[in-house]
Structure 1
Amino acid sequence: MERRNFLRASVLGTGAVAFSGSLWHNAALAAPAQNAASPYGPLQAADTRGIQLPAGFTSQIVARSRQTVTGTSYTWHDAPDGGACFADGTGWIYVSNAEVSASAGGGASMLRFNSSGTVTGASRILSGTNRNCAGGKTPWNTWLSCEEVSDGRVWETYPFGGTAAVRPAMGRFNHEAAAADPVRRAIYLTEDASDGCFYRFVPTTWGDLSAGTLQVLRAGTGTSGSFTWGTVPDPDGSPTATRNQVSGAKRFNGGEGCHYANDTVWITTKGDNRVWQFNLAGSTYELAYDDSLVNPGPAPLTGVDNVTGSSFGDLYVAEDGGNMEICMITPDDKISVFLRINGQSSSEICGPAFNPAGNRLYFSSQRGTSGSSSGGITYCVTGPFRT
């Protein structure tokens, strides 16, 4: 049976009729993806902000590090990194991490937008933490801000108001990104280490992350196969690191982004420029992208980092370095460049996230044109995204 048909049959067996059409897009994504023309057409000349976009799309700057956010009295944080959007009445909120030390302002901030996309407020939602890299949004509208240090923790923050709280049961390791799975009631977690692992946290009570079980993915050394989960005995990771506590734990070379949709979770690994796909209904995994398997080349996506998805089922993968691009992987296993930032080769693209309507994509250039954490720029691209 061909992989696509197998996946489709597997999903049908789980009661797919209850899901929207986007399920078929995500379930069909069985790669590795290959080069193709963008569904939006070729990139146009760079705009005044140095961004190349397809025809019909426009960019704007919504915040700059160490500058007051327009329309507010709030100063935007250094080194903007992972982010997410939350519906807020007729508007929305964009949350962004600060990947700097606690003494330099580590934590997370938020921007509030009205229905026309104008900033109406900005504030801190987390302070005093270290190298808050990526994270993830929960179904109960909190933001999980992850510390990218060897004994890093997950902090649950409250964009709509509330006191941030550390979640020790989710483990202490070099945290990167998180993604929530409401079907299996689990939170998936990546680890930024050259011999890192892929985890899931199963809370005792869904919606309460103060207690639960941390597990690590167990599988063979190949790029496809089946997987199981093994419980991590000591989530505190001391004296033995969490990734070394369970035999058979699968190693990933520099875990970065993490995105869940419709019984599938994707993660990116920067050490080998791969996007991995985990088919949760069938407990199998495979490659959605590998730069060494693009034929004919050249491979468009290198320095893979944060990842998000559109309601249509397209994956948007940001580059840390590379050509400073956000690339698209479509449901029919095609990859192309969606945008490119010029003149910022010493930076990285972080925090891609769509607003609730799916017609605005937010992201940051962590170090902007200066190459310094004080030069971060947060953008918004508006246009006819596929929904």
Structure 2
Amino acid sequence: MKRRTFLRTSVAGAGAIAFSGSLWQNAALAAPAQLSPSPYGPLQAANAHGIQLPSGFTSQIVARSGQTVAGTPYTWHNAPDGGACFADGSGWIYVSNAEIGSGGGGCSALRFNSGGSVTSAYSILSGTNRNCAGGKTPWNTWLSCEEVDTGYVYETYPFGGTAAVRRSAMGRFNHEAAAADPVRQVIYLTEDKSDGGLYRFIPVTWGNLSSGTLQVLKAGTGTSGSFTWGTVPDPDGQPTTTRKQVAGMKVFNGGEGCHYANDTVWFTTKGDNRVWQLNLANSTYELAYDDSLVTNGTAPLTGVDNITGSTFGDLYVAEDGGNMEICIITPDDGISVFLRINGQSSSEICGPAFNPAGNRLYFSSQRGTTGSSSGGITYCVTGPFRT
């Protein structure tokens, strides 16, 4: 039984089955993903948007940087980055960060009806710096993270009507992504530095991020093993940065995307093209993917960046560079290409997120065909996704 199949089974049967150490050890020692055929079949020729998709899938452009969103007066932001979807009655909302510095950053939202048409667009955060990725909370807010050395996390409100709030207790460092764990009632945070850490924030009250404890993962130098957490004494990081405060902190090379599901956290590191996996039930970590460990062909995933998951258990990992692809890591530890964008080699793919039904995947090309932050394009792909 492969890793995520095992984890889904364990969650479904929690309370009815007691797992032995050997079973968890087998799950923890599974090999990193290897090249395999896509569950959706081969890529077809590029469509009118320059996107290669499997048969049965289509794409549309929902917004372009510097242009008004169709049917609204709102101008879409430059450099679209991390994003997420939120259920909104029979429709949904997609939020997207703006990775612009010097106070030009922030976050925008697109509201869709049940048919997938945009009904409104608006800002939910402005005046911040390099809002790169972030994470969705169980109470339907979006954590927008600043990717600067003195960056903060801002809690934003996708439905509008409430001003964003800076959550200083979550630490001041080069934030990238966040993922909420409702079981342990913590938020995991990645750090985009070559010697960065992986953090977790434990709020005093779950659902209220105004106060709590910031901790960083501690482990050896290997690519698998056990881990613990150490409390960061000074989350403000002044004068000593958070990643230099705890002895034994495990160093990760350029933390990027982060995703939680079923007692597991997956996060990516761009400096070494890896996807890491934390098995929270037994406090072990391992590699879910490493491009240098693909032994049965050419590694399909390079420039790893944002990551999300489907309800089926597939992981979708976007590339910053590489071949401008979104790749799939399946529950049986296979990796394949889901889509490829042609003619945009100076861009990166950001913000992959599924709508609530799981049949639409939103994402952006941050710099589009121009290679400039003003050329960003936000897409939607529709098709027979596994759910």
State the TM-score, normalized to the length of structure 1: 0.94
Distance 1:209 1:13, change over 3 A: same
Match of 2:139 in 1: 140
Match of 1:115 in 2: 114
Match of 2:22 in 1: none
Q: Which amino acid aligns with 1:359?
A: N
Match of 2:55 in 1: 55
Q: Which amino acid aligns with 2:105?
A: G
Note the C-alpha offset of 1:28: 6.3
The C-alpha deviation readout for 1:85-141, integer Å capped at 9, x for no partner, is: 0000000000000000144x3100000000000000000000000000000000000
Q: How does 1:337-352 map to 2 (within 5 A)?
A: 337-352=337-352
Note the C-alpha offset of 1:5: 11
Note the C-alpha offset of 1:15: 1.8
Q: How does 1:15-30 map to 2 (within 5 A)?
A: 15=14, 30=30
Q: 5+ residue gaps in structure 1? A: 19-26
Match of 1:150 in 2: 149
* Over 6 Å off, 4+ runs: none
Note the C-alpha offset of 1:4: 5.1
Q: Which amino acid aligns with 1:336?
A: S
Indicate if the aligned counterparts of 2:7 and 2:263 stay in contact, CA closer than 8 A.
no
Indicate if the aligned counterparts of 1:194 and 1:254 stay in contact, CA closer than 8 A.
yes
Q: Give the distance between the partners of 1:115 and 1:329, measured in 2 at CA.
A: 29
The C-alpha deviation readout for 1:232-264, integer Å capped at 9, x for no partner, is: 000000111000100000000000000000100
Q: Which amino acid aligns with 1:324?
A: M
Indicate if the aligned counterparts of 1:102 and 1:127 stay in contact, CA closer than 8 A.
no
Distance 1:384 1:28, change over 3 A: farther
Q: Give the distance between the partners of 1:85 and 1:214, measured in 2 at CA.
A: 26
Q: Give the distance between the partners of 1:35 and 1:347, measured in 2 at CA.
A: 25
Match of 2:310 in 1: 310
Q: Give the distance between the partners of 2:180 and 2:38, measured in 1 at CA.
A: 29
Match of 2:92 in 1: 92
> What is the aligned length?
377
Match of 2:250 in 1: 250
Indicate if the aligned counterparts of 2:4 and 2:313 stay in contact, CA closer than 8 A.
no
Indicate if the aligned counterparts of 2:59 and 2:381 stay in contact, CA closer than 8 A.
yes
Distance 1:370 1:222, change over 3 A: same
Note the C-alpha offset of 1:11: 3.8
Match of 1:187 in 2: 187
**Are 2:159 and 1:160 aligned?**
yes
Note the C-alpha offset of 1:17: 5.6
Match of 1:319 in 2: 319
Note the C-alpha offset of 1:274: 0.2
Indicate if the aligned counterparts of 1:111 and 1:123 stay in contact, CA closer than 8 A.
yes
Distance 1:308 1:226, change over 3 A: same
Note the C-alpha offset of 1:160: 1.3
Q: Which amino acid aligns with 2:373?
A: S
Distance 1:3 1:378, change over 3 A: closer
Indicate if the aligned counterparts of 1:28 and 1:332 stay in contact, CA closer than 8 A.
no
**Are 2:158 and 1:170 aligned?**
no
Q: Give the distance between the partners of 2:179 and 2:360, measured in 1 at CA.
A: 21
Note the C-alpha offset of 1:229: 0.5
Indicate if the aligned counterparts of 2:8 and 2:262 stay in contact, CA closer than 8 A.
no
Q: Give the distance between the partners of 1:114 and 1:146, measured in 2 at CA.
A: 28
Distance 1:74 1:357, change over 3 A: same
**Are 2:231 and 1:203 aligned?**
no
Q: Which amino acid aligns with 1:262?
A: N
Q: How does 1:278-317 map to 2 (within 5 A)?
A: 278-317=278-317
Q: Give the distance between the partners of 2:201 and 2:60, measured in 1 at CA.
A: 37
Q: Which amino acid aligns with 1:82?
A: G
Q: Give the distance between the partners of 1:133 and 1:16, measured in 2 at CA.
A: 39
Q: Give the distance between the partners of 2:144 and 2:305, measured in 1 at CA.
A: 16
Question: In structure 1, the residue corresponding to 2:212 is in which secondary structure?
Answer: strand
Q: Give the distance between the partners of 2:363 and 2:36, measured in 1 at CA.
A: 24
The C-alpha deviation readout for 1:44-74, integer Å capped at 9, x for no partner, is: 0000000000000000000000000001000
Which region of structure 1 is more displaced relative to structure 2, 28-37 or 43-52?
28-37
Indicate if the aligned counterparts of 2:109 and 2:124 stay in contact, CA closer than 8 A.
yes
Q: Give the distance between the partners of 1:251 and 1:7, measured in 2 at CA.
A: 28
Distance 1:7 1:233, change over 3 A: farther
Note the C-alpha offset of 1:295: 0.8
Note the C-alpha offset of 1:31: 3.8
Question: In structure 1, the residue corresponding to 2:128 is in which secondary structure?
Answer: coil
Q: Give the distance between the partners of 2:343 and 2:4, measured in 1 at CA.
A: 44
The C-alpha deviation readout for 1:5-55, integer Å capped at 9, x for no partner, is: 99669947982669xxxxxxxx96944000011000000000000000000
Q: How does 1:58-77 map to 2 (within 5 A)?
A: 58-77=58-77
Q: Give the distance between the partners of 1:287 and 1:298, measured in 2 at CA.
A: 18
Q: Give the distance between the partners of 2:4 and 2:289, measured in 1 at CA.
A: 19
Question: In structure 2, the residue corresponding to 1:74 is in which secondary structure?
Answer: coil
State the TM-score, normalized to the length of structure 2: 0.94
Identity %: 80
Q: Give the distance between the partners of 1:133 and 1:9, measured in 2 at CA.
A: 30
Indicate if the aligned counterparts of 1:353 and 1:362 stay in contact, CA closer than 8 A.
yes
Q: Give the distance between the partners of 2:375 and 2:129, measured in 1 at CA.
A: 19
